[in-house]
Amino acid sequence: DGGITQSPKYLFRKEGQNVTLSCEQNLNHDAMYWYRQDPGQGLRLIYYSQIVNDFQKGDIAEGYSVSREKKESFPLTVTSAQKNPTAFYLCASSIGTGEQPQHFGDGTRLSIL
Amino acid sequence: GQNIDQPTEMTATEGAIVQINCTYQTSGFNGLFWYQQHAGEAPTFLSYNVLDGLEEKGRFSSFLSRSKGYSYLLLKELQMKDSASYLCARGSSYKLIFGSGTRLLVRP
């Protein structure tokens, strides 16, 4: 079945450590997105990519980095510069951008040790 | 969310009808989406409106008025499993802008 796979499901970060969250899709979608969700709040856009080898900052990109070397993969690195990384991270993809529905992975819950 | 307003919480009774409203900033509008999100899970796509009017999909319907910057999601014959957060999102250029979500509690 086609879908979006995020791993790991739970992740713990030590102070000063970078961690990378994986997102893979086999839907042949061009666009991919990373969101952060804090308890009781909506989704905030971190980064998005409309096509391979291209990506754009979203609303809260500071302290995060991404790459898009393959169409299927859009990993997110949470760097030590992100001082409040505890959140639920969601990856999504869509056929195009803007007016296309986005399909989400199951999320990664990141916590600080 | 950015210029998207929806109620924080609503309560309804099993078997009843509930309407969840969403207002949004109309500039740069490119379609209105509704998603359902159960606690701790990923959002799932429910509906998309780009033209004015009502779109019906089984027990769920979504309405859009572009001139008023207004949408609603209508849930009929409520079931306990409908207890979830409902996220309104508007398309804007290359991305979606999400509201903070409405948490719906369905009681027996």
**The predicted structure's pLDDT at residue A1:** 63
Q: Is B19 on the interface with A (CB under 8 A)?
A: no
Peptide bond into B7 cis (omega under 30): no
Contact B4, B91 (CB under 8 A): no
Residue in B91, B98, B99 closest to A98 by CB: B91
Hey, are the CB atoms on B42 and A102 less than 8 Å from each other?
no
Q: Is B11 on the interface with A (CB under 8 A)?
A: no
Hey, are the CB atoms on A99 and B45 less than 8 Å from each other?
no
Q: Is A32 on the interface with B (CB under 8 A)?
A: no
Q: Tell me the shortest Cα–Cα distance from A18 to chain B, in angstroms.
A: 24
Q: How many CB atoms lie within 10 A of CB A54?
A: 9
Hey, are the CB atoms on A98 and B50 less than 8 Å from each other?
no
Sign of CA dihedral A4, A93, B101, B67: negative
Sign of CA dihedral B75, B2, A41, A100: positive
Average pLDDT of adjacent 10-residue blocks, chain A of 113 residues:
89 90 96 93 92 94 97 96 92 84 93 86
Q: How far apart are the C-alpha atoms of A106 and A96, rounded to whole Å?
A: 21
- pLDDT tens figures, B64-81: 999 999 999 999 999 999
Q: How far apart are the C-alpha atoms of B88 and B31, rounded to whole Å?
A: 11
Contact B88, B34 (CB under 8 A): yes
- pLDDT tens figures, B36-95: 999 989 999 999 999 999 999 999 999 999 999 999 999 999 999 999 999 999 988 778
Closest residue in chain B to residue A44, using alpha carbons only: B98
Closest residue in chain B to residue A101, using alpha carbons only: B45
